[in-house]
Amino acid sequence: MDADTASNRDPLRVVRARGVSARVAAEGGAAARSQRVAAIIPAKDESARIAATIRSARSIPNVDIVLVVDDGSEDDTQHIARAAGAVVVRHSHNRGKASAMETGAAVAAMRDADGEPPRLLLFIDADLGDTAVNTAPLVPPVLAGKADLAVAVLPPQAGAGGHGIVLGLARKAIHAVSGWTPKAPLSGQRCITREAFEAATPLARGWGVETGMTLDLLEQGFGVVEVPCDLKHRPSGSDLRGYLHRASQYRDIALAIAVRRVRRYPAER
């Protein structure tokens, strides 16, 4: 049975790269993993939705801190987020999603208690609103030690523009190292262990962050699983702005893949 067939039969099948030994768990295995989760929300000009997203994220079991990284917003995102109960860190100018994720992870680490396992990191898009709580199914597979990274598979989004070429690019690259074709390689809703996150840093820049992270972890023997989650976010649409957005996605993902290919096959340079 190939990886794709098995994955279709079991949506929670944990995938690892072909020819790579499974990452050896830290002493104590799942028992050593923190039972606490830091929800990290990178945000840029999300004043209309951020409060609902925060309120919803605070309802997720095991989440004991919601951290918003305001990535140079020009609106009231930071003030609304703070009023909604989030810990807010602000970039003075827009540095991109990867940088916001790294900042959020660093701040979460500062709040981990000495001698205690580090929190799991749950990355949530700022525009999920009231559906953010539905990222909760991402936590149990990681909490139990079954996977190091859990990625949300969203239902079809009303009004979403097509981006088959971009998806195909990411899927092909991931299949090349694992024999597995992910359903949602671009999904930003992810629960990850601290160890796995640090193994994937520095993160790929721009829209390549998710594909780059998955490739990096698979190639190092970490386990990845996709989990269906009933989420709704703002679609990019099919207008000119949407097409430009997908062109940027393609560029960044292609760069992330190329960089990792050079690392894998340095003799080809």
Distance CA 150, CA 109 (A): 20
Q: How far is CA 47 from CA 72, 184, 187, in A?
A: 12, 27, 22
166 closest CA partner among 57, 266, 256: 256
pLDDT digits (tens, 9 = 90+) for 73-124: 999 999 999 999 999 999 999 999 999 999 999 999 999 998 899 999 999 9
Q: Would the pLDDT of 47 be above 70? A: yes
Query: Mean pLDDT over residues 188-202, rounded?
Result: 98
Choose the CATH number for 3-268 among 3.40.50.300, 1.10.246.90, 3.90.550.10, 3.40.50.880. 3.90.550.10
Which H or E run contains 149? strand 149-153
Q: Which residue has the tokens 């990792």?
A: 260
Cβ proximity of 229 and 145 under 8 Å: no
Question: How would residue 7 be classed by pLDDT, with cut points 50, 70 and 90?
Answer: very low
Domain spans in the chain, listed from the N-terminal domain onward: 3-268
For residue 88, list its beta bridge partners: 68
The answer on pLDDT for 234 being more than 80 is: no
Indicate the pLDDT class of residue 27, thresholds 50, 70 and 90. very low
Packing angle between helix 209-219 and helix 240-264, nearest 10 degrees?
20
Mean pLDDT computed over 47-64: 98
